[in-house]
Structure 1
Amino acid sequence: MTPDDLGRMIARIAMKDRAAFDQLYNRTSAKLFGVCLRVLNDRAEAEEALQEVFLKIWTKADRFSVSDLSPISWLAAVARNHAIDRLRARRVSAVDLDDAQSVADPAPGPETLALAGSQKAQIDGCLDELENTRAAAIRGAYLDGMSYAELSERHEVPLNTMRTWLRRSLVKLRECLER
């Protein structure tokens, strides 16, 4: 089974091809179950999560074509993210509502706000040391949540060039912040 075969199956699933879905399930369920089990550490919950993962794959297969991931990486990401969501939901439901009053106010205090303000000024100063296009790419990626593909399109550079820009710019930012 090649990545192209998996990609074609996912494309057929996006068109609601049940035979392709059956094939994909038979060929990937063991691996995706392993992903769920590693995150959840509970066999029964991992089995339930796996079924929900395949439901997501069925309903969201059309989103694969816009991702930069290989087919198996995309499938594993769907499984991992779903398992993490279940883990988070389990933790939230474990909080006893009677104990909720003893939880500290999550809003930052004055000291934290003052520290954050000085850190923001330091980060802005370090961003100003970068070339304008590199600083704009960093802001787009880490403040606006843009993907590498969106940034490479916006700045009209190849995808790998954008990755290099971001990696090198982050190194420069770290060096600046350590001064």
Structure 2
Amino acid sequence: MSQPLIEEHIARTATGDREAFGRLYSLTSAKLFGVALRVLNDRAEAEEVLQEVFVKVWRNADRYRANGLSPMTWLITIARNAAIDRLRRRREGQAELDAAEVVPDPAPGPEAHAVAGSERERLAGCFGELERDKAEAVRRAYLGGETYAELAAAMDVPLNTMRTWLRRSLLKLRECLDR
């Protein structure tokens, strides 16, 4: 792998020469893959990084200037930096996963859903023990958000009667649920 030959392929790649790019790949990919693999210690990720490296080389070949330094140094630097960037992203992603494990999920779990379902069934049973119009008034007041005055008007009873119905119905529901 001669330095002048690699420099020539980089220069021709800068002009869009696909054949030179293919030769550059053939000459250097094994070495660059080894660099990425050493940093990442993961073959699949190293292969992805190698692909990223050659995309960068294709796009930035015009930035390489023959200045007596090895063209392999330039290529290895690109590969090493790409692998380190990948490693950092992996670590950041793991840190986010670790943080997600530390922060509890506020949503109810399966046990809470089972308990809630059981409580819902008990509550429905207790509503069944109330008179139909009083159960309806409780539902509309506490689940539907209607005011006492709206309920009294809708059910054609005095306001104080509605208050009494609701208070007594809630007491009966509590007694039923305490059993």
CA distance in 1, matches of 2:3, 2:42: 29
CA distance in 2, matches of 1:35, 1:27: 15
CA distance in 2, matches of 1:91, 1:42: 14
CA distance in 1, matches of 2:60, 2:24: 14
Q: Per-residue displacement from partner, 1:94-122 (whole Å, max 9, x unpaired)?
A: 1137838x9xxxxxxxxxxxxxxxxxxxx
Q: Per-residue displacement from partner, 1:131-175 (whole Å, max 9, x unpaired)?
A: xxxxxxxxxxxxxxxxxxxxxxxxxxxxxxxxxxxxxxxxxxxxx
Q: Name the structure 2 match of 1:53.
A: 53
Q: Name the structure 2 match of 1:39.
A: 39
Matched letter for residue 71 of structure 2: P
CA distance in 2, matches of 1:61, 1:39: 24
Relative to structure 1, is the Cα distance of residues 13 and 97 closer, same or farther in structure 2, using a 3 angstrom cutoff?
same
**After the TM superposition, which segments of 4 or more aligned residues of structure 1 sit over 4 Å from their partners?**
none
Instruction: Say whether residues 1:11 and 2:11 are aligned partners.
Output: yes
Considering only aligned residues, what root-mean-square deviation do their CA atoms show, in Å? 2.1
Q: Which runs of 5+ in 1 are unaligned?
A: 103-179
Tell me the TM-score normalized by structure 2: 0.52
Q: Name the structure 1 match of 2:2.
A: 2
Residues 62-71 or 7-16, more deviating: 62-71
Q: How many residues align?
A: 101
Relative to structure 1, is the Cα distance of residues 87 and 67 closer, same or farther in structure 2, using a 3 angstrom cutoff?
farther
Residues 18-27 or 65-74, more deviating: 65-74
CA distance in 1, matches of 2:67, 2:56: 15
Aligned-residue sequence identity (percent) comes to 59
Matched letter for residue 21 of structure 1: F
Matched-pair contact (CA < 8 Å) for 2:53–2:78: yes
> 2:65 aligns to what SS in structure 1?
helix
Relative to structure 1, is the Cα distance of residues 68 and 87 closer, same or farther in structure 2, using a 3 angstrom cutoff?
farther
Structure of higher CA gyration radius: 2
Q: Name the structure 2 match of 1:92.
A: 92
Matched letter for residue 44 of structure 1: A
Matched-pair contact (CA < 8 Å) for 2:7–2:66: no
Tell me the TM-score normalized by structure 1: 0.52
Relative to structure 1, is the Cα distance of residues 2 and 98 closer, same or farther in structure 2, using a 3 angstrom cutoff?
closer
